Structure 1
């Protein structure tokens, strides 16, 4: 694995540490077939690429599963909350680097 791939994997792990606690907890009756991270990867893929849900790549969970979670999380305000928190963190990082716009 090249240095770039390792760096991206570490960045993704750090992002996941921020995101995971923001996702709803579900009473587990049995182990899930797909992790929340895999579900979120599917949602983010669709939002980034604008593809139809049924055109998600085969290495992601089935589109029906991803779309079901997307609808649930959207209705619960989870998607909006994730967006707001991540935007806030990016703005804070930009300010720390001294690249922020004057208020």
Structure 2
């Protein structure tokens, strides 16, 4: 939020959308979508290969994320 974020967004060509809360509740309130993402990252962190940054290319790292999710889903189906 502010001129610094706007300047960096314009320079990098990224569209930034800041969403403000509409409810008057003060303080921290849990959001459902955030927990879905954090839970998925927790599941992926159990994969030994993804626990450290061993990969040299983004493509191989992405492939191991796919393999980790495939393994997780196959385990749930079995």
Q: Same fold (TM over 0.5)?
A: no
TM, length-normalised to structure 2? 0.37
Return the structure number with greater helix share: 1
With a CA cutoff of 8 Å and minimum separation of 6, indicate the structure with the bigger relative contact order.
1
TM, length-normalised to structure 1? 0.30
Whose radius of gyration is greater, 1 or 2? 2
